[in-house]
Amino acid sequence: MVNIEYNKSITEYTTFGVPVSSNYFFAFSSVQELKSVLANNLVKDEKKLILGGGSNMLFTKNFDGIVLKNEINGIEIISENNAEVILKVGAGENWHDFVIYCVEKGWGGIENLSLIPGSVGASPMQNIGAYGVEIKDVFVELEAFNLETKKIEIFDNTTCKFGYRESIFKNSHKDKYIITSVTYKLSKNPVFNTSYGAIENQLNEMGISELSVKAISDAVIAIRSSKLPDPKEIGNAGSFFKNPIITKEKFEKLQAKFSNIANYPQADGTVKIAAGWLIDQLGWKGKTYDGYGVHKNQALVLVNYSKSNGKDIYDLSTNILNSVKEKYNIELEREVNIY
Ligand code: EPU
């Protein structure tokens, strides 16, 4: 028996927390359950949306179809030696809980990615990253269910086509696969990544002189908590926009006009610009409307203080895009998926 729910509110399953419901809803905890629901006549031809931690989505209207919530759990050690451990993790596991599980064992590689909201299955989807580390650095492979063939396929680092907040699952394979598990390789003798200035400062502030997986995780948690709103308290989806990457020529022209523009030169000669800086300069930071607005400490983050309408938040993002385009001639892209 497949227990499909009707006309279900999915507000609580998303970190933005805007009021939204879907025609049908089903939470699956195994590939077998997923297969059963997909074979069910009632919903077979419905539009499908896969929900993990719901941390990177904004609904501007109700979802006309079936929401499938991935609750495949479990952490399995595939192999282990003195140097490393390979873990296969159910896509429905909470990302931060998994990070803490590894931190407590002293396994290194994802400590810089502490406190990122969302699920394990979403981590390769957009190649999550923070403080100098991206998921692709520890990624081995993933299993994904092909919605057309109904078979599991394996994707490795190359076939996932990872880029900055990008993978094949956000592009050509969007909505065609359901990630069911992700396999990571972590290190027992980790090389710590403290290249991101804020981490060094935070470690000093906390009086930590001996680096450890735990110390870095604690530092990242402290930084994130001070700058980014906790979705349990204030609805949000992390960075709403991506940091744009522009040519060196365009950057030099901009820098001549705006000498302190926050930027990160890339290995291929292009330059990544801090979208948060651009938006902040335009005066958006902290702007509050009727229950929603731009976060007071980080202009890249849009926030929902009180069950605001997703469409209003979307329209705010359009106004921000337009103003950045007008002043800096840069077209920002949304990082958050809009439905
Ligand atoms: N800045 C401002 N004003 C702001 C925000 C930022 O001037 O309101 C400036 C900062 O002073 C700094 C620069 O912009 O010079 C970069 O800011 P920050 O270090 O806060 O990082 P970010 O580029 O805004 C990115 C990720 C975050 C990640 C941090 C740390 C993207 C889109 N965002 O933000 O990821 O935590 O770096 O690595 O790449 C997320 O994806 O949800 C997310 C939070």
pTM of the model: 0.94
Provide mean pLDDT across the span 67-74: 97
Provide mean pLDDT across the span 316-328: 98
Residue 82, number of CB atoms within 10 A of its CB: 6
> In angstroms, how far apart are the furthest CA atoms of the chain?
66
52, 128, 157, 159, 236 from 140: Cα distances, Å: 20, 15, 7, 11, 30
Provide mean pLDDT across the span 292-305: 97
How much is the pLDDT for 175?
A: 85
| CATH assignment of the domain containing 65 | 3.30.43.10
Query: Cα 245–250–254 angle (5° rounding)?
Result: 100
How much is the pLDDT for 314?
A: 98
Domain boundary among the residues 70, 89, 118 is at 70
- pLDDT tens-digit readout, 34-64: 999 999 998 989 999 999 999 999 999 999 9
The reply to whether 181 and 116 lie within a common domain is yes
- pLDDT tens-digit readout, 75-114: 999 999 999 999 999 999 999 999 999 999 999 999 999 9
1 — pLDDT class (breaks 50, 70, 90): low
Pairing of strands 21-28, 177-187: unpaired
How much is the pLDDT for 121?
A: 97
How much is the pLDDT for 217?
A: 97
How much is the pLDDT for 149?
A: 95
Mutate which of 133, 239, 337 for ligand 1? The one with the most ligand atoms within 8 Å of its CB, which is: 239
- CB neighbour list of residue 4: distance below 8 Å, 6 or more residues apart: 24, 25, 26, 37, 40, 42, 43, 66
Provide mean pLDDT across the span 288-312: 95
Provide mean pLDDT across the span 22-35: 96
- pLDDT tens-digit readout, 188-214: 999 999 888 889 999 999 998 889 999
How many angstroms does the Cα of residue 92 sit away from the middle of ligand 1? 27
> Which structural domain range is residue 161 located in?
75-187
How confident is the prediction for the chain on average, in pLDDT? 95
Is any atom of ligand 1 closer than 6 Å to the C-beta of 166? no
Residue pair 88/65 in contact (Cβ under 8 Å)? The answer is no
Q: Which of 22, 165, 181, 217 is flagged as catalytic?
A: 165
Structural domain includes residue 119: yes
Domain boundary among the residues 40, 55, 70 is at 70
Structural domain includes residue 225: no
The reply to whether 83 and 180 lie within a common domain is yes
How much is the pLDDT for 156?
A: 98
Q: Does the pLDDT of residue 116 top 80, yes or no? A: yes
How much is the pLDDT for 22?
A: 98
Neighbour-count burial of 331, counting CB atoms closer than 10 A to its CB (0-12 exposed, 13-18 middle, 19+ buried): exposed
Share of the chain above pLDDT 70, in %: 100
Domain tally, the chain: 3
The reply to whether 183 and 81 lie within a common domain is yes
Q: Tell me the sheet residues that pair with 87.
A: 77, 184
307 — pLDDT class (breaks 50, 70, 90): confident
CA distance 1 to 187: 43
How many angstroms does the Cα of residue 276 sit away from the middle of ligand 1? 6
The reply to whether 35 and 80 lie within a common domain is no
Atom in ligand 1 nearest the alpha carbon of residue 132: 38
How much is the pLDDT for 320?
A: 98
How much is the pLDDT for 101?
A: 98
Is any atom of ligand 1 closer than 6 Å to the C-beta of 134? no
Token pair of 337 as six digits: 């998926």
The reply to whether 255 and 270 lie within a common domain is yes
Domain boundary among the residues 70, 105, 124 is at 70
- Least confident interval from 27-31, 206-210, 286-290: 206-210
- CB neighbour list of residue 149: distance below 8 Å, 6 or more residues apart: none
How many angstroms does the Cα of residue 41 sit away from the middle of ligand 1? 46
| Nearest in space to 67 (alpha carbons), one of 28, 124, 30, 121 | 28
| Nearest in space to 96 (alpha carbons), one of 238, 266, 290, 284 | 238
Provide mean pLDDT across the span 223-245: 95
- Least confident interval from 13-27, 189-203, 275-289, 308-322: 189-203
How many angstroms does the Cα of residue 77 sit away from the middle of ligand 1? 34
How much is the pLDDT for 308?
A: 85
Helix (H, G, I), strand (E, B) or coil at 98: helix
Residue type, 19: P
Residue pair 10/20 in contact (Cβ under 8 Å)? The answer is yes
Residue pair 272/244 in contact (Cβ under 8 Å)? The answer is yes
Q: Any catalytic annotation for residue 335?
A: yes
The reply to whether 274 and 314 lie within a common domain is yes
| CATH assignment of the domain containing 265 | 3.90.78.10
Residue in this structure with the two tokens 């705006």, named with its chain if needed: 258
CA distance 194 to 196: 5
Atom in ligand 1 nearest the alpha carbon of residue 335: 32
